[in-house]
Amino acid sequence: MHKKRLDQKRAPIVEAIEAFQKQGEISFGIPGHKRNAGIDHLMSETFGNVMYRNDIPAHHGLDDRKESRGTRFKAEALAADAFGAKQSFYSIGGTSLSVHVAMLTVADSGEKLIVARNTHKSVIAALLLGEVHPIFLQPEINEEWQIENGNYS
């Protein structure tokens, strides 16, 4: 028996953003740029306005934990269907949480993991959380640009 495919032409998050924009609400909460109202002229000129206007918090915006409209769940179901997976989950806890999940998935407590010495602090936090033992590699310095590169000694 074949499972019926979902309509991959739908985009629940984009649709929710469009619906939210049509409401014309004024932002008094996060994010601090107030959907472009707080962006200086140079930033607006350089990057445009759309990316800030569409930076909308899930709560009191696209979806809400207390009164969900199912936006994220619909999008996750579409992603799972497209990937041929049973389920798909979006990280809504920020990049650091995603780093923690990835690292704690590949290394168990007490194991060793090779890590760049110049790594992000979220990696260090994951090492501590998971009681994973780092083997630090020092990145080489690109003499011309005076920056650390992806080569390690």
- Dump pLDDT digits (tens) for 17-36: 888 888 877 666 665 555 56
Residue 119 phi, psi (nearest 5): -70, 165
Nearest 5°: the CA angle 116, 117, 118 is 90
pTM: 0.59
Q: Where are the domains of the chain?
A: 12-83, 95-152
Mean pLDDT over residues 97-124, rounded?
A: 94
Comparing 90 with 50, which gets the higher pLDDT? 90
Name the range with the highest mean pLDDT among 17-21, 32-36, 59-63, 94-98. 94-98
- Closest C-alpha among 120, 121, 152 to residue 137: 152
- Closest C-alpha among 57, 85, 81 to residue 9: 81
Residue 74 predicted with pLDDT over 60: yes
CB-facing half-sphere around the CA of 76: CA atoms within 13 A: 11
